[in-house]
Each structure stands twice: as structure tokens, then as C-alpha cells.
Amino acid sequence: MSGRFELRLPDLGEGIAEGTIGEWLIHPGDAVTEDQPLVEVMTDKASVEIPSPVTGRLAEAVAIPGSVVPVGSVLAVLEVESSDQDEQSATPAASPTEVIATPGARRLAAQLGIDLATVGIADGSGSIREDHVRSYADAGGHAPGSEAQPEAALNATGNAAFPDRSVISSRLTRAAAVPTVTNVDEADFGAVYASGLSPLTVLAFVVSRSLSKHPRCNMLAPEGRPIPQDSVHLGVATQTDTGLVVPVIRHAESLGVAELGAAISDVTARARTGHLRPDELVGSTFTVTSAGRMAGQWATPLLNLPEVAILGLYRIAERPVVREGAVVVRSMGNLSITFDHRYLDGMIAAAFLQAVIVQLESWGERS
């Protein structure tokens, strides 16, 4: 028999509490398949496409293009086949003892080892979102309340004239307060260029594989305690017209170099055109950043919290270097590892960076 499914605006990550409805990609009455993009939503950080979690038919497009709606709001009503109930919802009712939370919040809480029952809700929304979990973690395990007020005051006084940067500003302010150290070294990219592969692709592959041997660099550190991660969910910092975003490639350590290269091309292209899914913007465990030819010699990237390290790739150019007593020209590029000194010592970060460099310089020797 037929039932109704309420599609709600999901947790969009990055502490984002609302989104602006863009273009509807289908019309009422159209058939819908599971994972089919339904509507574009624009946030302070990126444009994303909200997919349908069910197969059915669009009964009503509730959200009006141009309107600003909070996370958890009903976007659409879908007609679905249901044998068990007449009404369905993306956020079903819970028993009195059950914690109501979005899937993104549950996933992040599990990653960070946080009991959702201890996370308070200060905005009266009734459902724990990912930004609630992040605020709880950033506050050292305290329910959000007075701890959130300084950020609100900053947005009201410092960022009101620049709404497109408010979320970015608050995140960078938190990241800038972390005591980081940056280690910079150079690598010969001659073998990488000889392979015909993109330096970023090879670097991402090498980093993903190296993190398994240097697991302390692949940690998340909420609540003042580092938590090792079993998998590498690689963030790739990407510049877009609306700002820097970090789409995530999950289980990067399990991908071949060609697969990883295709995944990077896919998510970065969709990030720039606003076609990412919400779940592709959350959950990274380590981030790689590069501005390509615009990158300069080197920089000191800010951490993508709650990660404990970030690796930067900078301009690769021909430089004179000494090899076996002779001056020769090589394709050289600088790499940096910026790390949270509270959880990583310099020797650990340097060992990881050196392992990456060795693999880059011996890339042509891979069997």
C-alpha cells in the first residue's frame, strides 16, 4: 500500500545550521529512485544536492526556492510503497529513552567516541545534529550553552556584513587557537612526472598508504583526547567560487592509484559546480591541500579540526640541486606537515613526511 515519506534537510556538516533552497531538479508527480538528486541547497560553504533516500514519487515540493530553512525542516513529501505503515519520515519518532539524532551526528559521535545521550541541545531543535556533536567536542565534553556565546557574538559583530564567510570564519578561528608546528621539506617529483600521473593523485595515494604505518597522524582529537582511526577518510581541500571546501574520499587506503585519481577528479569537480552530497563534506580523518601552480614555495595550513595533521603540496618547478657531487636540474616541490603539537611530537610528524617523500622519489621503482 502507499505511504508518505517526509524528506528533511539533513545535517550538512561544518557547523552549518541552515541552507538556502536552490533549484528543484524534479517536479511534483515525477518518479524518484533511491539516491536520485532532488533539490540543490546552498550553504555558507558549498552548494550540495540532496538525494532521495527512497524510491517513489514526488508528491509535494515543500521548500520554496530562495527560502532559508534550518536543518531538520521538511523539504519534500514523497509517496512510497509501504506494507508496514502509512506514514514514514526521515526522522522517525523515538521512544522516550531513545536519543533523537541525525545520521551524520550518529556517525560523527561514533567516530569521536561520544555518547549521544550526554550531548545537550541548546537551540530547541529537538534533534541532535552534527554541529551539536562538534560543539560538544570543542567544549571539551560540556553541553553547548555559554560556550557557544562567544562565537555567536563574533558572527553578530564581526561577520554580519559577510554572511558567506561566517561558518568558515568560526572554524578557522578555532583552528588558529591550536598549538601547531609545521615541518617543511622538499621532494624530487621527477619519477612522478615520468609516470604521467598527476602529482596530487600520487601524493594522495602515498599519503593514504603511509598513514597505516604512521597511525598517530591519522587521528581525531575531540574532547582533549586523540582517537586512532581504523580507515583513512581523505579530505582534499578544494577552492570553489564560494570558498574553500574539503570533500571526503572514504577508505582511501583501499583504492588503487587510478581509482583514487578518478575519485579526486570526481569530488573536486562536483565541489566546484555545487553537486556534492552532504555526506561527502563530513568525516575526514586526514587532509591534503594544494593550490597547484598558485601554491607558492610553502605555507602553514590550518588544521581541519578535529584532525591532528594536514599535509600541503606546493609549486613544483625545475631547480638546481646537487646529486652525487654534481649540480643538476630536477623537478622539485616542497611538502609540509602541520600538526597539533599537543598530540604529536615533531619526530613522529617528520618520520611520516620523510616516508611520503621516499615513496614519491622512488615512484618509478614500484613493481
Rounded to whole angstroms, how far apart are CA atoms 36 and 57? 11
Rounded to whole angstroms, how far apart are CA atoms 159 and 169? 8
Active site residue 341: yes
Cell of 252: 582511501
Residue 315, CA distances (Å) to 148, 189, 321, 330 in order:
39, 11, 16, 13
Rounded to whole angstroms, how far apart are CA atoms 29 and 61? 10
Nearest to 46 by CA among 22, 74, 24: 22
Burial class (CB in 10 A: 0-12, 13-18, 19+), 197: middle
Q: Provide the 10 A C-beta neighbour count for residue 31.
A: 11
Dihedral sign computed on CA atoms, order 255, 261, 262, 263: positive
DSSP secondary structure letters along 304-358 = -TTBSEEEEEEEEEEEEEEETTEEEEEEEEEEEEEEETTT--HHHHHHHHHHHHH
Residue with cell 591534503: 288
Q: How many CA atoms lie within 13 A of 186 on its CB side?
A: 14
CB 220 within 8 A of CB 133: no
Residues with a catalytic annotation lie at 341
